[in-house]
Amino acid sequence: MKNTAITSPVAGIMRWGVWGANFTTAQYREMIETCLQYGIVTFDHADIYGDYTTEAEFGEVIKESPSLRHHMKLISKCGIQMVSPNRPEHRIKSYNTSRQHIIRSVEHSLQNLGTDYLDVLLIHRPDPLLDPAEVAEAIELLKEQGKILSFGVSNFLPHQVDLLAKYTLIEYNQVEISLMQPRSLTDGTLENCMRHRIIPMAWAPLGGGLFTDDSHPRFRAISLAANELAEKYHTGLNEILLAWLHTHPAGIQSVIGTTKIERLLQAKAAASIRLEREDWFRLLAASTGEDVA
């Protein structure tokens, strides 16, 4: 039986293709092999990345070297329909979580990635027209066929998770969490994850680039506190920002959307750092601009 556990950090692939670095196949290969060399084995995709091209570009490496697949775990997401020349049948950007769309999307992802299964499938966004029984039917069929091993959601609020969890097992919820966006601490998302034993994955865990924007109103306060703590813990700024997430008892995993291996190695180092309680609250106060009540 395949091991479905996902380890932190996760390499986010969104910017590897035309939405970012526009890697050649050789550059994809170099990045993949370097990640695997350093024990970063999980790669986070979505069918829409690169206007529906990035999965296939990544998959060229697997098709050339099928043995690489045995050393990696693949996540993909579906449910968003983008208007794109690569999907001329889409007339308007919308969501689609129908049974037919989920199954068709998975089959496209498998073909593009050069694999016969995904380790994890996520529904990319909450769909106002989501029928939980229909989603569950698609997921259970895909599991029975061995095409997906685990299932989760992305950007779902607690009440949306609760509804779908009555019909099928949810193991992951990928949401935006960082010191720049700590909303999940107070909207019930992380408590809901712990209640259902769902693993939360943080996208944009380093603030989506805002930590390099010194005009942001919270940049200076967070950076000052994080840099001082970096000295205390003998590490770097990014490691402290990520350690703040990993210290939370929900077991947050970071999805690092970068094209630079050094950022992923920083994330790997951060995975073993746990902040002292007062240090954690110091960063929270820097983020919110006030002490807790």
Calpha distance 52→16 (Å, rounded)? 13
CA–centroid distance for 156 within its chain: 13
Q: Which amino acid is at 98?
A: S
Tokens read off for 140 = 């259970």
Buried-exposed string 137-146: b where 16+ CB fall within 10 A, e elsewhere: bbbeebbeee
Catalytic residue among 49, 52, 95, 172: 49
Whether 52 is a known active-site residue: answer no
The set of residues, in sequence order, having a beta carbon less than 8 Å from that of 269 and lying 6+ positions away, is 235, 239
The answer to whether the CB of 74 falls within 8 A of the CB of 49 is no
Q: Catalogue the E-assigned strands of 104-262.
A: 118-123, 148-154, 172-176, 199-203, 253-256
Q: What angle do CA 213, 7, 39 make, to 5 degrees?
A: 85
CB burial of 84-118 (b: ≥16 within 10 Å; e: otherwise) equals eeeeeeeeeeebbbbbebbbebbebbbebbbbebb
Q: Residue 6: CA atoms inside 13 Å, Cβ hemisphere, count?
A: 32
β-partners of residue 80 are: 95
Residues labelled as active-site residues: 49
